[in-house]
Structure 1
């Protein structure tokens, strides 16, 4: 068996992982509660040991080199395996735990029925559901902190070492309160939203680029008092109290629309349609509990097609 270079320490791998995941030395230092120079020094040491640059420092945003992308994949796998080994050595969980990363649209539309299907037999399975931006969930997937992610397919650059299984297509909608002034306009067009507050997805969300492109194509160039949020609770509450327009995935508000609590502006949003499905790691075979959950999700998602 080939011996690992003894100069490579755990701190090297953790520091590299955090910088690569967050694309920022400053943010990585804050996460690890150490100084920025210490992180930079650790990364430089690792690059010297490996004999290759891990990051391309010529660009405005810190990005991985091709060598760094490969090393990033194996670092994620190694850290995940180490964490699982420690858990096993310490006795692990007494009950099975399924960890699911889900974008808000899936949490609202698909997960309730899927989790009910999975747990109604009283198997004793514990289910942990974690929501957040796509980049955050994919980072948890790479480290093994979630077993799979359900949501929109990520950008190609973010799919290294990951695979995607399509379930259904979903579009973005313009959601407003019932009785909103724009609902009574005879010939509505997107430019009419400019005088109103707009709730937009955050820049790191998968749908942000689609929304911006759609608005630009429709001639909407100025947004008044734009609010960026990924909080469904805030968005739902805010538009019901104001005349704001909420750009949001259809699945998040589907039930609210059915119940008459939220209305949709009459506009063709087909340009924002994108695939929703499972994202898993290519180097892992799903366990029995994970496979059972995925099948439950497939059955529920089939009703959305």
Structure 2
């Protein structure tokens, strides 16, 4: 039978090449030689009887069969890792780990309450929260490094093999420190280009929204800009300077409530985007992961009830 001939090294090599889009980078990630990765991929293709990569391109591109197989290969690695961890931790301390990848806005707005409720259930599982940009958490999920993700729906190529469950929507916020000169009576936003603006970098999920906002505000090419997705840096730099910060509302909701940051009078009603749970389609989840997702759904429902801002 075909499945008896496929080994873990076949799956791990294939998933890493697909994730990193490079045989060389996959070899480094797996700590093996590049020829070994190429040989392993060829073996897997011979076993399956199809080509998993389209070799007519200069870059590494999945074939149709490769896209289909990736769904199950990544899910298999994740399931195997969960099983091994469950046994090891059960022997060591009677506990397990649930790995959650999340956008910074979700980490700040939804996860604190959700994790508290999860821990209150005394399920004997340790949550591990990994905060990153959307593309990174989807790639980690595909590589079997996460149990599930809390983020936005990616591009069709990024979502191959993944399922998205919408929880709530969130807009972009434009904020500054509470006593910023722009809040002075009659100041307006016409001199925005006088200040440094923190903007999500190209490729990040809200970069296009940020650029459109700057164009609408007539911020010219002389704009001094810092590209960042770091919530820690954004908060520290903005509260200590006259910088303007364009961020997910969830990243700054706590600061706005505390009064350390204030929203500038900018219409961001057209920047709403969906946030939700992302999992491997059809892949089984551990009990801990299921319970964590249930806690996240509960908190997200409260965010919706408050009114998505």
Question: Is structure 2 residue 243 aligned with structure 1 residue 244?
Answer: yes
1: distance between equivalents of 2:271 and 2:144? 31
- Partner secondary structure for residue 141 of structure 1: helix
Question: Is structure 2 residue 226 aligned with structure 1 residue 227?
Answer: yes
- Partner residue of 2:211? 212
Question: Is structure 2 residue 163 aligned with structure 1 residue 155?
Answer: no
TM-superposed CA distance for 1:11, in Å, is: 4.2
2: distance between equivalents of 1:89 and 1:259? 44
- CA pair 52-172 structure 1, distance change in 2 beyond 3 A: same
Any idea what the Cα deviations from partners look like across 1:247-282, whole Å, max 9, x if unmatched? 110001101011111111110112221011111221
TM-superposed CA distance for 1:36, in Å, is: 5.6
- Partner secondary structure for residue 52 of structure 1: coil
- CA pair 171-88 structure 1, distance change in 2 beyond 3 A: closer
1: distance between equivalents of 2:293 and 2:83? 25
TM-superposed CA distance for 1:110, in Å, is: 0.9
2:164, 2:279 within 8 Å by CA — same for their partners in 1?
yes
- Partner secondary structure for residue 283 of structure 1: coil
1: distance between equivalents of 2:185 and 2:24? 49
2: distance between equivalents of 1:82 and 1:112? 29
- CA pair 237-5 structure 1, distance change in 2 beyond 3 A: same
- Partner residue of 2:13? 15
Aligned length: 301
- CA pair 84-276 structure 1, distance change in 2 beyond 3 A: closer
1: distance between equivalents of 2:72 and 2:278? 18
Question: Is structure 2 residue 74 aligned with structure 1 residue 76?
Answer: yes
Any idea what the Cα deviations from partners look like across 1:109-164, whole Å, max 9, x if unmatched? 11111111222244433211111122221223234332221122222322222111
1: distance between equivalents of 2:243 and 2:168? 29
Deviates more, 1:141-150 or 1:96-105: 141-150
TM-score, scaled to structure 2:
0.82
- Partner residue of 1:67? 65
TM-superposed CA distance for 1:76, in Å, is: 0.9
- CA pair 163-3 structure 1, distance change in 2 beyond 3 A: closer
TM-superposed CA distance for 1:5, in Å, is: 7.9
- Partner residue of 1:126? 126
Structure 2 stretches of 5 or more lacking a match? 305-309
TM-superposed CA distance for 1:210, in Å, is: 3.0
- CA pair 40-285 structure 1, distance change in 2 beyond 3 A: closer
Question: Is structure 2 residue 300 aligned with structure 1 residue 301?
Answer: yes
Deviates more, 1:17-26 or 1:232-241: 17-26
- Partner secondary structure for residue 194 of structure 1: helix
Deviates more, 1:249-258 or 1:20-29: 20-29
- Partner residue of 1:272? 271
2:164, 2:278 within 8 Å by CA — same for their partners in 1?
yes
Structure 1 stretches of 5 or more lacking a match? none
- Partner secondary structure for residue 21 of structure 1: helix
Any idea what the Cα deviations from partners look like across 1:35-65, whole Å, max 9, x if unmatched? 6666566556655664425146537x65433
- Partner secondary structure for residue 222 of structure 1: coil
2:89, 2:95 within 8 Å by CA — same for their partners in 1?
no
Question: Is structure 2 residue 236 aligned with structure 1 residue 263?
Answer: no
Q: CA RMSD in A?
A: 3.0
- Partner secondary structure for residue 151 of structure 2: strand
- Partner secondary structure for residue 101 of structure 1: strand
1: distance between equivalents of 2:191 and 2:17? 42
2: distance between equivalents of 1:187 and 1:40? 62
